[in-house]
Amino acid sequence: MNEDATVVENKSQQNNPNHLPVINARCYVAGKKIASENILEVRSPYDQRLVGTVALANASHAEQAIEAALKGGQKLTRYDRFSILDKARQLLIERRDEFAKIISAESGLAIREAIYETGRAHDVLMFAAMESLKDDGQIFSCDISPQGKARKIFTTRDPLSLALCITPFNHPLNQVAHKIAPAIAVGTPVILKPSEKTPLTAIKFTELLYDAGLPHYMLSVLLGPTNEIAEPLVKDPRVEIVSFTGSVPVGKRISTVAGYKKVILELGGNDPIIILEDADIDTAVHLAAEGSYRNSGQRCTAVKRILIHENIKDTFIEKFVAKSKTYTCGDPSDPATVVGTVIDEASAIYLESVVNRAIEQGAKILLGGKRTGALMEPTVITDVPRNADMVVHESFGPLAPILSFKNIDDAIALSNSTAYGLSSGIITNNMQHAIRFIKELKVGTVNINEVPGYRIESSPFGGIKDSGLGVKEGVIEAMKCFTFVKTFSMPW
């Protein structure tokens, strides 16, 4: 990299109070910064300014990270784990603005979304700290059947020896927190492989955890060529669990490469918000807009399909278009911006192309549809055919395709018609209808009168079908994933 260029860009960034100076980061092997000639440049998707650089790791760093984790170090009591997580929570509050600026700069997410994300990561740390104090054993009395004996069976949960956690770009901090905090809570060492598109937040979070007292063997963070870092680690028999969040094709590849080990897959989604005839229209409009546009539409649980009863479609559309106009897009670092960019220009070009293909199939744009670089306008599009790419596959951006249905049978069939099964939101005031959707939708979550993405950070979360194998995450479930259960029995 050209040193002079860095200095010039550093100066220009210091002129804008919303921009941080360029961050020159390195991967860490168990607390040690690596030396490397191989440098990744991280640029803002909005204006291509240099946000930072990362010294990348190679295969020998991956080997060193495995060895350091397995060699171990200071064993952590429950109180130690609580203290580290709670200290990290406090440090994150103190450094909220810095983290929000890094998230926004490297991902293009609006700064207000980035601030919100730091709040979510705070909750993950808080819940993991709380859970780390709870006993997780069970007791079974054995004299409870004619075959019984005067014994008791007890369970304990032991940490796995090493976890590989692979994270996507779309929540650069919270996805990482959702992997590492539960692993710390149970004492499982982690090698983190964050997205190459958003590595700076992950490295800064790693440093924050070291600052909070996390023993270095407990965490390494590696970025580098997939064939030197990610895939060999996925395959390595010393890695006892691969916890992956990302796209369906990569998740399916990991499941074949991993072989005989635990694999957690949190994959893509194509979530509907389903608005029934009896729905409160203003609630429906608010939730459909929040679900479609928050985080630039780049959430696995973003609203990707608005399914509306045909009798209320026109009223809904009029109000929804008006509401969508309030989701202004622009410079992510400006506190007034509601919708930032998508992750890069290539993704925005893809979104534009799926909109154009839907139009060729008869759909009509009611708002937006234009792209400038990586900025994609919030786009309302109606009369979308049921087989259009933008509703059959995951379109990861601020698109709001509207499809109408005739009755509840039709809505359930339409909702279940894609390969995905992550989450859903149902807008209705009719309890019987709500219960039918809860029972009949083939998804991991059904939220009544809420967006599909609604959750708290400790509740079970995860999809089925192509969205995942039905193994849940969320702090409590993820803690179980990072352990194995040992049973022992005694005369009693």
Token pair of 475 as six digits: 């702090």
The smaller minimum CB distance to ligand NAP, of residues 308 and 446, is found at: 446
Task: Report how far residue 453's alpha carbon sits from residue 424's, in angstroms, rounded to the nearest whole number.
Answer: 8
Q: Quick count: other Cβ atoms within 10 Å of Cβ 420?
A: 27
Provide the minimum distance between the beta carbon of 280 and ligand NAP in the complex, in angstroms, as a whole number: 29
Is residue 457 part of the annotated active site? The answer reads no
The smaller minimum CB distance to ligand NAP, of residues 195 and 428, is found at: 195
The smaller minimum CB distance to ligand NAP, of residues 25 and 321, is found at: 25
Dihedral of CA atoms 330, 333, 335, 340 in degrees, nearest 10, equals: 40
Token pair of 165 as six digits: 């956690």
CB-CB contact of 421 with 467 (8 Å)? yes
The smaller minimum CB distance to ligand NAP, of residues 92 and 300, is found at: 300
Provide the minimum distance between the beta carbon of 193 and ligand NAP in the complex, in angstroms, as a whole number: 6
The smaller minimum CB distance to ligand NAP, of residues 131 and 266, is found at: 266
How far, in whole angstroms, is CA 14 from its chain's centroid? 31
Token pair of 139 as six digits: 């007791």
Which residues, 6+ apart, have CB-to-CB distance to 65 below 8 Å? 29, 30, 191, 220, 222
> Is 404 in a helix, a strand, or coil?
strand
Provide the minimum distance between the beta carbon of 336 and ligand NAP in the complex, in angstroms, as a whole number: 27
Amino acid at 362: G
The smaller minimum CB distance to ligand NAP, of residues 215 and 269, is found at: 269
Task: Report how far residue 155's alpha carbon sits from residue 153's, in angstroms, rounded to the nearest whole number.
Answer: 7
Token pair of 347 as six digits: 């993704």
Task: Report how far residue 294's alpha carbon sits from residue 490's, in angstroms, rounded to the nearest whole number.
Answer: 54
Is residue 165 part of the annotated active site? The answer reads no
Catalytic, out of 131, 266, 352, 450:
266
The smaller minimum CB distance to ligand NAP, of residues 195 and 404, is found at: 195
Provide the minimum distance between the beta carbon of 463 and ligand NAP in the complex, in angstroms, as a whole number: 6
Task: Report how far residue 299's alpha carbon sits from residue 430's, in angstroms, rounded to the nearest whole number.
Answer: 28
Residue 32's DSSP bridge partners are: 29
* Binding-site ranges for ligand NAP (CB under 6 A): 166-170, 175, 193-197, 226, 230-231, 234, 245-247, 250, 253-254, 266-269, 300, 394, 396, 422, 463, 467-468
How far, in whole angstroms, is CA 329 from its chain's centroid? 22
Catalytic, out of 9, 131, 165, 300:
300
Provide the minimum distance between the beta carbon of 251 and ligand NAP in the complex, in angstroms, as a whole number: 7
Q: Quick count: other Cβ atoms within 10 Å of Cβ 263?
A: 20
Closest CA to 318 of 272, 363, 369, 366: 366
The smaller minimum CB distance to ligand NAP, of residues 367 and 376, is found at: 376
**Computed over its alpha carbons, how large is the radius of gyration of the chain?**
24
CB-CB contact of 49 with 5 (8 Å)? no
Per-residue DSSP letter, 276: -
Residue 307's DSSP bridge partners are: 274, 403
How far, in whole angstroms, is CA 428 from its chain's centroid? 28
Provide the minimum distance between the beta carbon of 249 and ligand NAP in the complex, in angstroms, as a whole number: 7
Provide the minimum distance between the beta carbon of 445 and ligand NAP in the complex, in angstroms, as a whole number: 11
CB-CB contact of 440 with 394 (8 Å)? no
Provide the minimum distance between the beta carbon of 250 and ligand NAP in the complex, in angstroms, as a whole number: 3
> What are the catalytic residues?
266, 300
